[in-house]
Copies of this chain bind each other. A is one copy, B any other.
């Protein structure tokens, strides 16, 4: 599955490609979202994977050590794991330093910036190698104006983190284009930014400027143009709901797609928190979005059915479609057109 190279128009990041995807010692596949996103949407740029001892996550890509990756043409190592909280593990440093020593760029999207690691910064200087941090918001952000702007916007929202908001936005951007619409994917997190080559890492923005950053990310456009904005967090998440709300208000979405992961009952890593019923989620997302766009509606459900077989996936979508009265499908498995047909 590869991304149309022109999906976002002219990128603003010059990322040295191809990449070697570094998985550290990850054991939770949900922590490897960045690596998986690049594998799934920029496969042509991903040479292979590098895993430390103890790592149980497998992208299904060829294994490389740094030396061999370099020998066959790798130009950068992308830190493909993002543990909750976004810190660089001390155990990763020797490998990343060695990559710099070999002249490879090191690309990161964690809250901890690579350039803030004295060891990595020194190695980058010594070996004239590049450290590229993509989770750095643009300078000069300001507070939201709240003013309505031209163009149409679709925002993916979720019942939780890691349910498919980014994949859904990418798939729907493609579906809109295939249906003849003008559409732009707007990345809001490190993985989306690495895939698209541009975007704003919303969770790294100073809180006061969250909605202002979302306004900047999806500026005024042609009346029939769709910005398809990658959602963040969830309104029912005890740690990240603020990011979600700021993104909703600044995006002023006309349409929302609610993303859910089949069978997920509690918030990932927050097991004391139940995921609400989808009808409750729909009602609360529409109420939140109504502040800056009273016409905002949830127009479909994107169900992540990765862990189900075809029959079970089909059945799960049918249940949710009946319960909510909205089209429900898995855009990674089914034709996503029914989620956007109503918009055209």
> A residues within 8 Å of B by Cβ?
84-86, 111, 142-147, 202-208, 210-212, 236, 238-243, 245-246, 249, 270, 272-273, 284, 287, 291-292
Q: A211-B242, A241-B211, A291-B236 in contact; A146/B272 too (CB < 8 A)?
A: yes
Instruction: Name the distance in Å between A2's Cβ and chain B's nearest Cβ.
Output: 30
Residues of chain B contacted by A249 (CB below 8 angstroms): 238-239, 241-242
Residues of chain B contacted by A85 (CB below 8 angstroms): 142-143
Instruction: Name the distance in Å between A277's Cβ and chain B's nearest Cβ.
Output: 14
Q: Do A238 and B144 have beta carbons less than 8 Å apart?
A: yes
CA distance A291 to B272 in the complex (A): 11
Q: Do B208 and A146 have beta carbons less than 8 Å apart?
A: no
Q: Is the interface of A mostly helix, strand, loop or mixed?
A: mixed
Q: Do B243 and A208 have beta carbons less than 8 Å apart?
A: yes
Q: Do A204 and B211 have beta carbons less than 8 Å apart?
A: no
Indicate how many identical chains form the complex. 2
Instruction: Name the distance in Å between A249's Cβ and chain B's nearest Cβ.
Output: 6
Instruction: Name the distance in Å between A85's Cβ and chain B's nearest Cβ.
Output: 5
Residues of chain B contacted by A287 (CB below 8 angstroms): 284
Q: A241-B211, A242-B249 in contact; A203/B204 too (CB < 8 A)?
A: no
CA distance A243 to B241 in the complex (A): 10
Per a CB cutoff under 8 Å, which of B111, B212, B241, B242 touches A239? B212
25 A–B contacts, CB within 8 A, in A order? A84-B143, A85-B142, A86-B208, A111-B208, A143-B240, A204-B206, A204-B208, A205-B206, A206-B206, A207-B242, A207-B243, A210-B242, A210-B243, A211-B239, A211-B241, A211-B242, A212-B239, A236-B291, A238-B291, A239-B249, A241-B291, A242-B243, A242-B246, A245-B245, A273-B291
* Cβ-closest chain B residue relative to A233: B208
Residues of chain B contacted by A147 (CB below 8 angstroms): 272
Residues of chain B contacted by A146 (CB below 8 angstroms): 238-239, 270, 272-273
Residues of chain B contacted by A238 (CB below 8 angstroms): 144-146, 211, 249, 291-292
Q: Do A203 and B206 have beta carbons less than 8 Å apart?
A: yes
